Copies of this chain bind each other. A is one copy, B any other.
Amino acid sequence: MTHHQAEDESRFERGQKALSRIDGKGGEKVVASLADIAPDFARYLIEFPFGDIYCRPGLDLRSREIATIAALTALGNAAPQLKVHVEAGLNVGLTRTEIVEVIMQMAVYAGFPAALNGLFAAKEVFALHEEGSGTEDIARS
Contact = CB atoms under 8 A, between A and B. Distances in A.
A38 B70 CA distance: 16
A120 B75 contact: no
Q: Can you tell how many copies of this chain the complex includes?
A: 6
Interface in A104-134: 104-117, 119-120, 122-123, 126
Interface residues of A, number: 65
Contact of A48 (B33, B44, B70, B76): B44
A76 to B, nearest CB: 4
Contacts of A36: 123
A120 to B, nearest CB: 7
Contacts of A113: 72, 75, 77-78, 80-81, 109
A70 B133 CA distance: 31
Contacts of A56: 40, 101, 104
Interface centre among A30, A33, A37, A69 (most CB of B within 10 A): A37
Given A4-B8, A58-B98, A81-B113, A53 B105 contact: yes
Nearest to A72: B109
A75 B61 CA distance: 22
Given A30-B116, A75-B74, A58 B109 contact: no
A34 interface: yes
B67 A107 contact: no
